Structure 1
Amino acid sequence: LDPSSWRLRVDGLVERVLELSLEELRSRFAHHELVATLQCAGNRRAGFLAVRDIPGEAPWGPGAIGTAVWTGARLADVLAAAGIQENAEHVAFAGADVSEEADPPQAFGASVPRHKATAGEVVLAWSMNREPLPTVHGAPVRLVVPGYIGARSVKWLERITAQAEPSDSFFQAETYRLLPAEADPDAIVPGEGVALGAVAVNADILSPGEGTTVAPGPLGVSGYALAGDDRRIVRVDVSIDEGRTWRQADLRDQQSPWSWRLWEAEVDVAVGTTEIVARAWDSAAAAQPESAAHLWNPKGYVNNAWARISVSPDRSAARGDRTTSPGRRDTA
């Protein structure tokens, strides 16, 4: 999209329809910066494959997630300028990208409830990590909805519509839905299943990697944890005996209320294959469930089961500093 000719239309149940250029958006509204983590609804989908295959879906590991510094205008300010009406219970968004997955093909779309849209953390971002927003991440402007699945943070944003009902977009009414295990994803009707919004509490282990050979003795383990919407990560537990006993990980300071929380722990491993397990708790006292088998669904969404990796302690492995911290990843 050409930034000079790009326009954002704000319409629907508003008092004033707006047509904003990028320059108008930047000059008319206060700039807001926040650190936020975005997570794909299919993050950690690969953990479901040991339960049952999920044809046609990307086998994401723990990396379909990322944290960045976003700068832009608050959506709440733009909606206020348009005069959002009282009967507008939802705010819908449309991007420029057209998907052939829908029949007929349609632009990517989504919506969030009014209470989320008018919260101060939702941003129309033109900058990522204090640099111009890259094309691959949605330039010239994308939506950033902290605490919700990444699919609600529409890229290449072109239209905002205040409306009475949730979006009927293929990508909200049919695709990003949590279906029962026995459902046929190719035969669902619009509105079937549970619409995905706020992300569930989740955590994964980033270091050491699966199958790593390590020296016996103290071993540094590190990863990330994330809680959805306005909840916070308050604890991460690590176990090396299948959850019979746990030790609490050290939590790093959180960069913002909307970012992941990095954690570190040290465990003592003996010779032989050892499974390391981690689980997170959030401020609503919700914890990750134990088994992916209890969560399997035909689209492979919301795998927030305990994180598990296996390592192989071997006396021949070289010792070194094995407390490796996860770094920042650019979000999808």
Structure 2
Amino acid sequence: MSEHKNDKEAYKNEPYRNQEFVVNFKDPFNAEPTPTRLIQSYITPTEHFYVRNHAPVPDIKESAYFLRIEGLIGKPMVLTMDDIKSKFEKVTIAATLQCAGNRRTMMSEYKKVKGVGWGIASLSNGTWSGCRLRDVLEYCKAFSKDSGAFHACFWGLDFGCPEEPDGKPYGSSITMEKAMDPEGDVLLAYEMNGETLTRDHGYPLRVVAPGIIGARSVKWLGRIIISPYESESFFQRRDYKIFHSGIDWNNITDKVWDSTPSLQELSIQSAICSPAPNSTVYLPFTIMGYATGGGGRKIERVDISLDGGESWDYAEIMTEEKGPVNRYWSWVFFRYTITHLNQLDHQKQVPLKLMCRAWDNASNTQPRDVKDIWNLRGVMNNCYHIVDIVVENKKSNL
């Protein structure tokens, strides 16, 4: 896999970014909010929404923009932004986007992986407005899968990806089953949080494919190809795949890459955002965090342990979008308040190993140990999240 290269000239026209971001890679820009900032708002303000770029951010004028649609359709189409806004119904959904590399840094702490390091905050929740991808493909008379139309392939306008030696832009694809599902809610979005998309988030048009990894929600969308095959992009064929722990960079082969499915649906996930790791807190204190379910599955509960998983209790789910079954595209927040610890009756300080795990409406939960899901790309790390803290008794004379 190619490493990112620094080309200062290519990145001289980047947009302004919030200075509060935790920057994991500068060029191309990859950054996440702090965990405490992340859970301050159910809908993440645009200026705090995580940013995952693979190339310099294009500077596109809407008046000069057009979208090409081709492949297994009745007739190749070219749509302007005026066409997209006037010909198709505008709809709005709330959806969390999450990078498949979320929590990669923690996986790398167990055993080194390759990829941009991410903490627990490479996800955010927003409202997205635009037209349904399904409506656009029906307008273009896209062929059915009986005719071999199995994949909707998206190409961006962000040229200069270091991983693409021939200069191709970022690309990815989803199944036509997802693209055409009336309950799949895949959008071609031109608004975010009630405002026009910003450059970092795909202006003037992007894909929002809820419930699956953020890599499939291609920004700066330039072309859609309906195809029998998934995208030929590096990021579909040689990235965002998960292998067993015996596969590493010394023994992986083209056959392994080609025979391993590309990631689509997200796995169930949760993380503790407060208190911070290795912090000292005083009673009472509250554990707060987020949980997400892949594929639109509803988060039914979040469990909290104070003793490294020996015993568990239920957290309170604070935010829950009411929706149809398996269309829960947004995260939930959880909290758990501790008012008393018996150990503090006899000690001045008590170390606690906090853990969380989520369950969805299909009874999926998270694996306990990172070693069981380690993979060379460091993707889909959803093991129990662990935070070590110390609780101090301010009133104790011990």
| TM-score greater than 0.5 by the shorter chain | yes
State the identity as a percent. Answer: 33
Aligned 1:131-280 pairs, distance under 5 A: 131-185=195-249, 188-189=253-254, 190-215=257-282, 217-255=283-321, 257-267=328-338, 268-269=340-341, 270=344, 271-280=349-358
Partner of 1:39: 98
- 2:171 is the alignment partner of 1:93: no
Please state how far the C-alpha of 1:295 moved relative to its aligned partner.
Answer: 1.0
8 Å Cα contact 1:236/1:281 also seen in 2? yes
Q: Which amino acid aligns with 1:239?
A: S
8 Å Cα contact 1:100/1:106 also seen in 2? no
In structure 2, what is the Cα distance between the partners aligned to 1:193 and 1:218? 48
Deviations along 1:179-224, one digit per CA (max 9) or x if unpaired, are: 2323234754252433110000000011111112101x43211111
Please state how far the C-alpha of 1:36 moved relative to its aligned partner.
Answer: 0.3
- 2:139 is the alignment partner of 1:81: yes
In structure 2, what is the Cα distance between the partners aligned to 1:295 and 1:226? 18
8 Å Cα contact 2:270/2:291 also seen in 1? yes
Please state how far the C-alpha of 1:240 moved relative to its aligned partner.
Answer: 0.7
- Picking from 39, 59, 74, the partner of 1:15 is 74
TM-score of the two chains, using structure 2 as the length reference: 0.76
Q: Which amino acid aligns with 1:301?
A: V
Please state how far the C-alpha of 1:46 moved relative to its aligned partner.
Answer: 1.6
Q: Which amino acid aligns with 2:379?
A: Y
Greater per-residue helix proportion: 2
Q: Which amino acid aligns with 1:60?
A: W
Q: Which amino acid aligns with 2:120?
A: P
Please state how far the C-alpha of 1:128 moved relative to its aligned partner.
Answer: 0.4
Please state how far the C-alpha of 1:170 moved relative to its aligned partner.
Answer: 0.9
Partner of 1:65: 123
Partner of 1:326: none
In structure 1, what is the Cα distance between the partners aligned to 2:63 and 2:94? 27
Partner of 1:27: 86
8 Å Cα contact 2:151/2:229 also seen in 1? yes
Please state how far the C-alpha of 1:168 moved relative to its aligned partner.
Answer: 2.0
8 Å Cα contact 1:296/1:303 also seen in 2? yes
Describe the SS at the equivalent of 1:273: strand
- 2:194 is the alignment partner of 1:116: no
In structure 2, what is the Cα distance between the partners aligned to 1:283 and 1:25? 36
In structure 1, what is the Cα distance between the partners aligned to 2:310 and 2:124? 31
8 Å Cα contact 2:210/2:296 also seen in 1? no
RMSD: 1.6
Please state how far the C-alpha of 1:242 moved relative to its aligned partner.
Answer: 1.7
Q: Which amino acid aligns with 1:213?
A: T
Partner of 1:311: 389
Bigger shift: residues 22-31 or 253-262 = 253-262
In structure 2, what is the Cα distance between the partners aligned to 1:119 and 1:264? 34
Q: Which amino acid aligns with 1:228?
A: G
Partner of 1:287: 365
Please state how far the C-alpha of 1:272 moved relative to its aligned partner.
Answer: 2.4
Deviations along 1:66-118, one digit per CA (max 9) or x if unpaired, are: 00010000000000000111221111100011212123332111111111001
Partner of 1:329: none
Q: Which amino acid aligns with 1:11?
A: E
Deviations along 1:246-303, one digit per CA (max 9) or x if unpaired, are: 1111112323621001111123454222110000001110110101111111110000
Greater per-residue strand proportion: 1
Please state how far the C-alpha of 1:2 moved relative to its aligned partner.
Answer: 1.2
Moved over 6 A (4+): none
Shift of the 288–235 alpha-carbon distance from structure 1 to 2, 3 Å rule, reads same
In structure 2, what is the Cα distance between the partners aligned to 1:185 and 1:194? 18
In structure 1, what is the Cα distance between the partners aligned to 2:269 and 2:234? 27
In structure 2, what is the Cα distance between the partners aligned to 1:237 and 1:90? 38
Please state how far the C-alpha of 1:14 moved relative to its aligned partner.
Answer: 0.5
**How many residues matched?**
315
In structure 2, what is the Cα distance between the partners aligned to 1:316 and 1:265? 21
8 Å Cα contact 1:91/1:161 also seen in 2? yes
Greater relative contact order (Cα < 8 A, sep 6+): 1
